[in-house]
Copies of this chain bind each other. A is one copy, B any other.
Amino acid sequence: MIRPAHEFDVVVIGAGPAGIGVACVLKALGLENFVVFDRYEVGASFQRWPREMRLITPSFPSNAYGFPDLNAITVDTSPGYTLETEHPTGRQYACYLRRVVKEFNVPVQTGVNVTEVRSTTDGFEIMTHAGTRTAKYVIWAAGEFQYPKIDPFPGAEYCPHTATVSSWRDVAGDEFLIIGGYESGIDAATALCRLGKTVTVLDRRSISSSVTSDPSVVLSPFTQARLRQADRTGRLSVLENFKVMQVQREGEEFLVIGRQRQKKQTVLRTKTPPLLATGFDGSLSLVKSHFARDEAGVLQLSPDDESTITPGLFLCGPMVRHGAIIMCFIYKYRQRFAVVANAIGQRMGLDLSPLEVYRKKQMFLDDLSCCLDECAC
């Protein structure tokens, strides 16, 4: 049976680690009539990272012993092996993703801008600038780096977001205020320190008082080491529990107005525009109406990461969460690729035995009961 080139069994949207990763599992199941769409190119978000920025999870080719490289998106590839580095830059990681696409013949179509996903009686219509495509199933894998949080407080428009920096070498100024003390804020701070700049990080939380071993909450060992190194230069300070309320411009200066705990209002002055390290808004806006949220705004997903209100629409990637379980690392969310592929494969009557190797190599996590386990020491 010859099917028109615009009708697919599965359309995956996004050619980053989540989209390419789940596509590799579909390939392994023998699915043929599917495609991965990306607005730009394979790994485009990683390609745009600041040049100095690196993955914070370390890569190591431990795959053969049931421990796929923490940054791998398949059971049998390793960025650490391919790129010969533990902490790939964004550009290096995009290179790894292209290697995987080539190695496994993943059917990617780049330059396809999806503008809407419509649920129909027998599946989906995917509206793109190149015309309408149809699919029985849609996997949304648009990642988290699409929409920087650029409006967290009044006056944020004066503050460049760290995600818009192409290299810290190009940023003018000698003294910096960075708003946000999680990974991207500390990344910016340590990169600037290495360039001889003086940096103050304003962190809403208290980095030092965290008492969990979950890397989705505390800083990674890689970043803790960078922080210690920056600290030794004497050019880095961190103001903890500091909540920025407003940024104002006054002549040549920027005023950052905030409050530390219960203390009274503080005004910090700087000649360099303060930097926003406030993270991202996620990439669900295009399909917002297809996903339910609870009263607290937490995304609702079925046990198979399917939308609870639009059957056939699945979510893959760092946006996946189940209650308190946050999957915002590659080594976490990649374990759900096989769960999604399993659900789709089952409904399509595919042979599911190729998924056994995923279970064996810890890439098929359908029991989430351990995900919040803490380390004893």
Contacts and interface: CB of A to CB of B under 8 A. Distances in A.
Contacts of A82: 375, 377
Given A63-B213, A77-B376, A84-B224, 16 more contacts: A61-B215, A64-B372, A65-B362, A67-B70, A69-B375, A76-B375, A76-B376, A77-B377, A78-B213, A78-B375, A81-B213, A81-B377, A83-B221, A86-B222, A96-B377, A100-B377
A61 B371 contact: no
A361 B67 CA distance: 10
A222 B70 CA distance: 15
A362 B66 contact: yes
Contacts of A57: 60, 62
A155 interface: no
Given A221-B80, A362-B362, A370-B360, A375 B86 contact: no
A interface SS class: loop
Interface residues of A, number: 53
A65 B221 contact: no
A370 B67 contact: no
A59 interface: yes
A365 interface: yes
A308 B34 CA distance: 53
A360 B373 CA distance: 13
A62 B67 CA distance: 11
A44 B261 CA distance: 46
A146 B220 CA distance: 33
Interface string A154-189: 000000000000000000000000000000000000
A359 to B, nearest CB: 10
A6 interface: no
Choose among A69, A83, A224, A376 the residue with the greatest number of B CB atoms under 10 Å from its CB.
A376
A377 B331 contact: no
A221 B59 contact: yes
B64 A70 contact: no
A85 interface: yes
